[in-house]
Every structure is written in C-alpha cells, then in structure tokens.
C-alpha cells in the first residue's frame, strides 16, 4: 500500500503539556514511535483492518504518535487521535450530507458510537478545546494558508533512492507570528472579509490551543512521490508566499498579486488530480 497523496500540518507538543506525561515519555523512550514517512500508510492499513462494511461502531486503536526526541528535556509528541478523528469526521459528514445519503453511508448505531466518542473526548490525548487535533490533512495539495506557518529557512529536503521528503519545522511562536503578520497584511489590503484572511485567522486560532514550546511541521508527505527530484529541489511555494507578503508590506500590490498568481497556478494542476481520482 502506497502512502496517501496528502500533505500534513502537525503540532508536536512537549510531553508535559499532556495529562499523562509519563506515558508519552515512556512511549518515546521505547522506540515505538513511527516515522512520519511511514505513518500515513500504516494508519490507513490499520483502519482498513478494523473497519468493515457496514460500520457498527467506531473502532479502537492503540495510543500512537509521531515523536521528535532531541535528547534534551521533554520529547515532543504529535498524537494520532485516530478514534476521535474518525468519529468527528463521520459526524461532520452527517451534518453536511442530506439525511437520506447520510443514512445510507452510516448505520444509526455507528453514528451513536461516534457521538459518544466525541462527547467523551476520547481520553487524555486531547485538550479542552474541541478543535485541537494535532494534525491537519489535505489531499492532493497543500492549502496555501499553510505556507504562511513556516519560513524558507525552516526547509528540510532529502532526496535519496527510495527516500524523499520535503518538510518545514519551526517553533510555534515563530509560526504564530508569521500567521499574524500574513493575516494583518492581507486584511490591510483586502479587508476583514477576505477569504484568505479568514483562513489565516482560523489556522492561527488552531495554533493558539497548543503549548508555547511546541513545534509546527509542514510535511509534503506523499505528494513528494508525484514530484521529480528537480521539481522537489525547485519547490519554493513558501518563498513565493513570503515574497507576496513582503510586497504587500511594501505597498506593492501588483507584485504581490503576481507572486500569488504563480502560487495558485502551480497548485491548481495538482489539485485537479483530486477530481480525476
């Protein structure tokens, strides 16, 4: 099974930010944590193994996470929260889907199980805020607002036979500042009602729910398999984003629009692949 064609925006929190830090410290020390390169494929396999049709209830999963352990202080943890996320997604589909379609997709007992999981908040991996899942997933592309969460100097690129990755990792304080700068510049130019400004604000509110010592990661995930090595080396969407924002800050809207148009054009064709699949 191949890795999903998806990108990821993750937050890794220090173990002390959780209700049971001892569990996550022991988990990190055990070496059980899965590498983010393999995690999406392994999670999908686990999901397929547990869910049959029709679904009778939300399946149970072990408490797994991605971990950054730099050998100093607390390990940084990004829990998978699979059970909660499946339940929450099912309820959201039900909310957005006509009742007849929702009933065909989900048996009543599954929806009842999902509601119970969400109501119980599924254990100690979550905080009080209901929208604080540690990982956001986007199929077939990278949402443009995510590029404002990181900076060009945060880039990590590996190109090897059988192993390629492109990701950005940055302290959450830096990410929050970048989003605030981007939001304010967009609002100043286009007004509070601008769709991009609201998207940036929404991402900023999500980041506000995490510990101040967290790390934010933008991971191109399975998308790298669809990019040739030269394309990976030349992939500079984060640079283009900040060039556009710098032009806005310098009162150069035409130059900013040119950078943004290049960014939109670049990802339009990649998003079209979703419609073809």
Q: What is the pLDDT of residue 129?
A: 38
pLDDT one-digit tens code per residue, 246-256: 999 999 999 99
pLDDT one-digit tens code per residue, 83-108: 888 888 888 888 888 878 877 778 88
* Whole-structure pTM value: 0.87
pLDDT of 61 > 90? The answer is no
Distance (Å) of CA 198 to CA 138, 164, 172, 219, 249: 18, 33, 20, 23, 18
pLDDT one-digit tens code per residue, 218-227: 999 999 988 8
177 phi/psi in degrees, rounded to 5: -65, -45
């Amino acid at each position: 099974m191949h890795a999903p064609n998806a990108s990821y925006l993750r937050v890794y929190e220090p173990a002390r930010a959780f209700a049971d830090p001892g569990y996550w410290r022991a988990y990190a020390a055990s070496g059980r944590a899965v590498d983010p390169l393999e995690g999406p494929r392994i999670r999908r396999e686990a999901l397929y193994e547990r869910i049959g049709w029709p679904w009778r209830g939300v399946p149970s999963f072990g408490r797994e996470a991605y971990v950054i352990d730099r050998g100093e202080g607390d390990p940084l943890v990004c829990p998978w929260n699979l059970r909660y996320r499946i339940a929450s997604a099912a309820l959201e589909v039900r909310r957005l889907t006509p009742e007849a379609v929702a009933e065909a997709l989900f048996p009543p007992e599954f929806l009842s199980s999902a509601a119970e999981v969400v109501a119980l908040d599924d254990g100690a991996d979550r905080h009080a805020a209901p929208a604080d899942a540690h990982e956001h997933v986007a199929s077939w592309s990278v949402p443009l607002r995510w590029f404002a969460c990181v900076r060009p100097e945060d880039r990590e690129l590996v190109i090897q036979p059988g192993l390629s990755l492109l990701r950005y990792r940055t302290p959450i304080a830096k990410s929050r500042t970048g989003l605030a700068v981007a939001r304010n510049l967009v609002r100043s130019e286009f007004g509070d009602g601008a769709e991009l400004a609201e998207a940036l604000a929404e991402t900023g509110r999500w980041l506000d729910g995490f510990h101040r010592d967290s790390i934010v990661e933008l991971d191109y995930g399975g998308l790298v398999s669809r990019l040739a090595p030269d394309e990976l080396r030349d992939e500079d969407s984060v640079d283009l984003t900040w060039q556009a924002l710098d032009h806005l800050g310098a009162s150069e809207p035409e130059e900013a629009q040119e950078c943004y148009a290049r960014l939109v054009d670049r990802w339009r064709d990649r998003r079209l692949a979703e419609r073809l699949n």
